[in-house]
């Protein structure tokens, strides 16, 4: 008996990144690994609905993909020769250590490849985009949303990064211990972008993609065990735990959006909140604060409050002002404006939002017009609120977000 499509898709989501990372490490060529991974999935799509999902689907996909890769190399002698040369160069640059000698060995192949793609020869945005698309399994539109750029721009960026890897002959290997600190920020950005897509999906029928969020947390736990003294790793893990703790209360039984002020806080995961809160102090002490530690502190203040009214908004505003200094961005400024509106009233928040009206990155970011619509509604400027909500509906990528905004718009009528 065949397997349902939903169960097959869940296997693909779980195995894709692991499969691609293992193939890249084995063959040393990202394009080849991508091609045979896609071919293996195509074969599975044809056979599994009829034959059922194998007992070890990852091993099945790996065997199929490896056979396809070997067949490709037998046919393409030029490719085979190039890969052989790259492998020799990689071995010469980093001879394999004896068992137990390499203190930097990463216990997950995807994390190993994350660090590889964080090579300083690639521009920061290009290497993050490449890792998200190829190793984290996000689609090009999903990666584009993480950077607030059009999908066509992101597609060109990913192609450029792949070309740079080929031309510069960047080896796919685990970096040495002295290289880790330089590459760590890029890896953290990638893992956080995976979590963000899981927390608020850019498209599709659901508000959240819990599989992505939980995978990001799993990878960050590995990093935290590997690098316990890195405060920003601690801060990122704290942030993810404190935000993910609200997952069950963020949607209604029908999948509809439930805003923070309307959430049943008894449904928040208190064990996860306690774990995340305990990580906030060490992420902020021992040196200047980092952006993940500051964001974790903001999330902790939300989680510790009994309701929206009793939230420590002055402290949250102060933390956002610190974050604006550390990582200035339109999205941080948007969140700062929303916090100011809670502290000082909607007119003060709207004035800050109006200052962001010409920011190119916010023109296609639906939370911006949605926030304006909310503040305009609270100020009684109904016609302008309707216009803002309509714009937010046009930009929203998921059906739950669009349905929520349509309800807000209908309420004004």
Mind listing the pLDDT tens digit for each residue in 27-47? 777 788 888 888 888 898 888
Residue 4 above 70 pLDDT? no
Which residues lie closer than 8 Å to 104 by C-beta, 6 or more apart?
A: 174, 175, 176, 177, 180
Return residue ranges of the chain for CATH 1.25.40.10.
312-413
* pLDDT cut 70: percent of the chain above it: 85
Buried b / exposed e across 291-313, counting CB within 10 Å, b at 16+? bbbbbbbbbbbbbebeeeeebeb
Return residue ranges of the chain for CATH 1.10.1740.
1-93
d(CA 392, CA 403): 11
Mean pLDDT of the chain: 85
Output the pLDDT for position 53: 84
Ramachandran class of 54: left when φ > 0, alpha when ψ lies in -120 to 50, beta otherwise: beta
Residue 379 exposure: Cα atoms within 13 Å on the Cβ side: 19
DSSP 256: -
Output the pLDDT for position 90: 47
What tokens does 14 get? 């779980």
Residue 33: is it exposed, middle or buried by C-beta count within 10 angstroms (0-12/13-18/19+)?
buried
Domain 1-93: give its CATH code: 1.10.1740
Residue 193 above 90 pLDDT? no
Nearest to 236 by CA among 212, 249, 218: 218
Residue 83 above 60 pLDDT? no
Lowest mean pLDDT among 159-163, 322-326, 408-412: 159-163
The pLDDT confidence band at residue 1, using thresholds 50, 70 and 90, is very low
pLDDT tens digit string along 202-256? 877 888 988 889 988 988 998 898 788 899 999 999 999 999 999 999 999 999 9
In sequence order, the β-bridge partners of residue 398 are 204
Output the pLDDT for position 108: 63
pLDDT tens digit string along 394-403? 999 899 999 9
* pLDDT cut 90: percent of the chain above it: 46
The pLDDT confidence band at residue 25, using thresholds 50, 70 and 90, is confident
Residue 107 above 70 pLDDT? no
Task: Find which of 3-17, 26-40, 176-190, 325-339 is predicted with most confidence, using mean pLDDT.
Answer: 325-339
Residue 143 above 70 pLDDT? yes
Mean pLDDT over residues 254-274, rounded? 96
Look at the domain 312-413 and name its fold: 1.25.40
pLDDT tens digit string along 108-127? 666 777 777 777 777 777 87
The pLDDT confidence band at residue 88, using thresholds 50, 70 and 90, is very low
pLDDT tens digit string along 336-385? 999 999 999 999 999 999 999 999 999 999 999 999 999 999 999 999 99
DSSP of 325-339: HHS--HHHHHHHHHH
Lowest mean pLDDT among 15-19, 173-177, 284-288, 384-388: 173-177
Mean pLDDT over residues 74-83, rounded? 65
Do 203 and 151 touch, CB atoms closer than 8 A? no
């Amino acid at each position: 008996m065949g397997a349902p499509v939903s169960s097959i898709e869940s296997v693909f989501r779980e195995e894709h990144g692991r499969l691609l990372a293992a193939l890249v490490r084995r063959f040393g060529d990202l394009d080849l690994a991508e091609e045979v991974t896609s071919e293996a999935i195509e074969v599975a799509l044809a056979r599994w609905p009829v034959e059922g999902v194998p007992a070890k689907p990852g091993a099945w996909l790996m065997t199929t993909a490896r056979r396809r890769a070997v067949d490709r190399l037998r046919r393409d002698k030029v490719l085979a020769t190039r890969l052989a040369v790259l492998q020799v160069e990689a071995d010469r640059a980093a001879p394999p250590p004896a068992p137990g000698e390499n203190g930097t060995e990463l216990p997950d192949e995807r994390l190993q490849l994350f660090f590889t793609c964080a090579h300083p020869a690639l521009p920061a945005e290009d290497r993050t985009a490449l890792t998200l698309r190829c190793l984290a399994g996000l689609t090009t539109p999903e990666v584009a949303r993480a950077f607030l750029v059009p999908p066509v721009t992101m597609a060109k960026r990913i192609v450029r990064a792949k070309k740079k890897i080929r031309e510069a002959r960047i080896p796919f290997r685990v970096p040495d211990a002295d290289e880790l600190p330089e590459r760590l920020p890029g890896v953290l950005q990638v893992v956080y972008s995976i979590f963000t897509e899981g927390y608020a999906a850019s498209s599709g029928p659901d508000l959240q993609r819990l599989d992505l969020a939980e995978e990001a947390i799993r990878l960050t736990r590995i990093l935290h065990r590997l690098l316990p003294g890195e405060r920003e790793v601690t801060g990122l893990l704290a942030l993810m735990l404190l935000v993910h703790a609200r997952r069950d209360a963020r949607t209604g039984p029908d999948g509809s959006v439930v805003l923070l002020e309307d959430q049943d806080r008894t449904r928040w995961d208190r064990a996860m909140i306690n774990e995340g809160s305990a990580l906030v102090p060490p992420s902020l002490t021992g040196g200047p604060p980092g952006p993940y530690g500051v964001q974790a502190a903001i999330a902790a203040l939300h989680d510790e409050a009994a309701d929206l009214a009793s939230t420590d908004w002055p402290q949250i505003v102060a933390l956002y002002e610190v974050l604006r200094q550390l990582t200035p961005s339109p999205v941080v400024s948007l969140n700062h404006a929303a916090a100011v509106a809670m502290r000082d009233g909607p007119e003060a928040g709207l004035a800050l939002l109006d200052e962001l009206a010409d920011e190119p990155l916010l023109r296609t970011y639906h939370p911006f017009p949605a926030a304006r619509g909310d503040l305009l509604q609270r100020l009684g400027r109904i016609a302008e609120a309707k216009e803002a909500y309509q714009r937010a509906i046009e930009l929203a990528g998921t059906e739950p977000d669009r349905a929520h905004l349509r309800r807000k718009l209908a309420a004004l009528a």
